[in-house]
Structure 1
Amino acid sequence: VLSKDIKKLEQDYPTLINQEFMRFYKLLYTSQGTDMVKTHTFQDKLDIPSLTKVPRDCLEGDLTEVEIQEAISCLDAGKSPGLDGFSIDFFKAFIPKIIKPLNDMYMQAIESQHLPDSLEQAMITLLLKPGKDPCLCGSYRPISLLNSDYKVFAKIIALRLEKVISQLVDYPVIAVSLDAKKAFDRSEWLYLLSVLQKMNFGPKFINMVKMLYNHPTAVIQTNSEISTLFSLERGTRQGCPLSPLLFTLAIEPLDIAIYSHDVISGFTTLQSRHVISLYTDDIMLNLINVNSIIPALTTLPQDYGIISGYKINVNKSVSMPLNIAATRLPLKPLSHCTSDPENCWNIAGLPSV
Structure 2
Amino acid sequence: MAFLQQRYYEVGGKSTKLLAYKLKKQQLENIIHKIKDPQTNNIVYKLEDIQLAFLKFYKELYSQPRVDDKGMISFLDSLCLPKLTENQNITLIKDITEIEIKKAISKLKPNKSPGPDGYPSDWYKEMKELLIPLMKTTFNYILKTGVIPPSWNEASMSLIAKEGKDRLDCGNYCPISVLNQDYKIFTYILAKKIENILGQIISLDQTGFIKQRQTQDNVRRTLHVIDYVVKNKIQMVLMSLDAEKAFDRVNWEFLYKVMGKFGFHQSFIMIIQALYKSPRARIKVNGALSNVFNLQRGTRQGCPFSPSLFALFIEALSQSVIQSINITGVKIMGREHKISLFADDILIYLTNPNITFPKLLSLLETFSSLSGYKLNISKTQI
CA contact 2:115–2:155 (8 Å) conserved in 1: yes
Looking at structure 2, the residues matched to 56 and 109 of structure 1 have their Cα atoms a distance apart, in angstroms, of 17
Instruction: Give the aligned partner of residue 118 of structure 2.
Output: 85
CA contact 2:37–2:53 (8 Å) conserved in 1: no
Instruction: Give the aligned partner of residue 43 of structure 2.
Output: 8
Query: How far did residue 2 of structure 1 move?
Result: 8.5
Query: How far did residue 296 of structure 1 move?
Result: 1.2
Instruction: Give the aligned partner of residue 136 of structure 2.
Output: 103
Give the alignment partner of residue 72 of structure 2, picking from 11, 25, 39: 39
Instruction: Give the aligned partner of residue 234 of structure 1.
Output: 297
Give the alignment partner of residue 72 of structure 1, picking from 105, 108, 131: 105
Q: What is the CA deviation profile of residues 210-266 of structure 1, one whole-angstrom value per residue up to 9, with x for unaligned ones? A: 121121111001112211111111110121101111011011111011112223222
Instruction: Give the aligned partner of residue 316 of structure 1.
Output: 379
Q: What is the CA deviation profile of residues 10-47 of structure 1, one whole-angstrom value per residue up to 9, with x for unaligned ones? A: 2xx11110111012111211111321211111011111
Question: Secondary structure at 1:318's aligned position in 2?
Answer: coil
Instruction: Give the aligned partner of residue 156 of structure 1.
Output: 189
Q: Which amino acid aligns with 1:123?
A: S
CA contact 2:37–2:44 (8 Å) conserved in 1: no
Instruction: Give the aligned partner of residue 191 of structure 1.
Output: 254
Query: How far did residue 6 of structure 1 move?
Result: 6.0
Instruction: Give the aligned partner of residue 62 of structure 1.
Output: 95
Q: What is the CA deviation profile of residues 175-232 of structure 1, one whole-angstrom value per residue up to 9, with x for unaligned ones? A: 2111111111111111111111111111221122112112111100111221111111
Instruction: Give the aligned partner of residue 233 of structure 2.
Output: none
Query: How far did residue 111 of structure 1 move?
Result: 4.2
Give the alignment partner of residue 276 of structure 1, picking from 325, 330, 339: 339
Q: Summarize the alignment of residues 111-190 of structure 1 with structure 2, pairs less than 5 Å apart.
A: 111-172=144-205, 173=218, 174=221, 175-190=238-253
Q: Measured at CA, do residues 23 and 3 of structure 1 come closer, stay the same or move farther in structure 2, by a change above 3 Å? A: closer
Looking at structure 2, the residues matched to 317 and 2 of structure 1 have their Cα atoms a distance apart, in angstroms, of 27
Query: How far did residue 5 of structure 1 move?
Result: 7.2
Scaled by the length of structure 2, the TM-score of the pair is: 0.78
Q: Which amino acid aligns with 1:16?
A: D
- Work out the number of aligned pairs and report it: 317
Structure 2's unaligned 5+ residue stretches are 1-35, 206-217, 222-237
Question: Secondary structure at 2:350's aligned position in 1?
Answer: coil
- Tell me if 1:304 matches 2:337: no
Question: Secondary structure at 1:258's aligned position in 2?
Answer: helix
Looking at structure 1, the residues matched to 62 and 73 of structure 2 have their Cα atoms a distance apart, in angstroms, of 24
- Tell me if 1:29 matches 2:62: yes
Q: Measured at CA, do residues 266 and 76 of structure 1 come closer, stay the same or move farther in structure 2, by a change above 3 Å? A: farther
Looking at structure 2, the residues matched to 112 and 259 of structure 1 have their Cα atoms a distance apart, in angstroms, of 38
Q: Which amino acid aligns with 2:57?
A: F
- Runs of 4+ in structure 1 deviating by more than 6 angstroms, as ranges, are none
Looking at structure 2, the residues matched to 93 and 29 of structure 1 have their Cα atoms a distance apart, in angstroms, of 36
Question: Secondary structure at 1:50's aligned position in 2?
Answer: coil
Give the alignment partner of residue 85 of structure 2, picking from 48, 52, 60: 52
Structure with the bigger percentage of helix:
2
Looking at structure 2, the residues matched to 136 and 19 of structure 1 have their Cα atoms a distance apart, in angstroms, of 14
Q: Measured at CA, do residues 280 and 34 of structure 1 come closer, stay the same or move farther in structure 2, by a change above 3 Å? A: same
Question: Secondary structure at 2:351's aligned position in 1?
Answer: coil
Question: Secondary structure at 1:124's aligned position in 2?
Answer: strand
Which sits farther off after the overlay, 264-273 or 27-36? 264-273
Looking at structure 1, the residues matched to 348 and 315 of structure 2 have their Cα atoms a distance apart, in angstroms, of 15
CA contact 1:120–1:150 (8 Å) conserved in 2: no
Which sits farther off after the overlay, 146-155 or 87-96? 87-96
Looking at structure 2, the residues matched to 193 and 25 of structure 1 have their Cα atoms a distance apart, in angstroms, of 23
Q: Measured at CA, do residues 300 and 2 of structure 1 come closer, stay the same or move farther in structure 2, by a change above 3 Å? A: farther
- Tell me if 1:254 matches 2:289: no
Q: Which amino acid aligns with 2:187?
A: A
Q: Which amino acid aligns with 2:330?
A: F
Looking at structure 2, the residues matched to 23 and 160 of structure 1 have their Cα atoms a distance apart, in angstroms, of 37
Question: Secondary structure at 1:286's aligned position in 2?
Answer: strand
Question: Secondary structure at 1:90's aligned position in 2?
Answer: helix
Looking at structure 2, the residues matched to 97 and 271 of structure 1 have their Cα atoms a distance apart, in angstroms, of 58
Q: What is the CA deviation profile of residues 80-114 of structure 1, one whole-angstrom value per residue up to 9, with x for unaligned ones? A: 32122322232223221211121222233344422
Q: Measured at CA, do residues 309 and 153 of structure 1 come closer, stay the same or move farther in structure 2, by a change above 3 Å? A: same
CA contact 1:4–1:136 (8 Å) conserved in 2: no
Question: Secondary structure at 1:285's aligned position in 2?
Answer: strand
Looking at structure 2, the residues matched to 299 and 305 of structure 1 have their Cα atoms a distance apart, in angstroms, of 10
Looking at structure 2, the residues matched to 94 and 301 of structure 1 have their Cα atoms a distance apart, in angstroms, of 50
Q: Measured at CA, do residues 7 and 130 of structure 1 come closer, stay the same or move farther in structure 2, by a change above 3 Å? A: farther
Q: Measured at CA, do residues 50 and 78 of structure 1 come closer, stay the same or move farther in structure 2, by a change above 3 Å? A: farther
Query: How far did residue 143 of structure 1 move?
Result: 1.6
Which sits farther off after the overlay, 305-314 or 26-35? 26-35
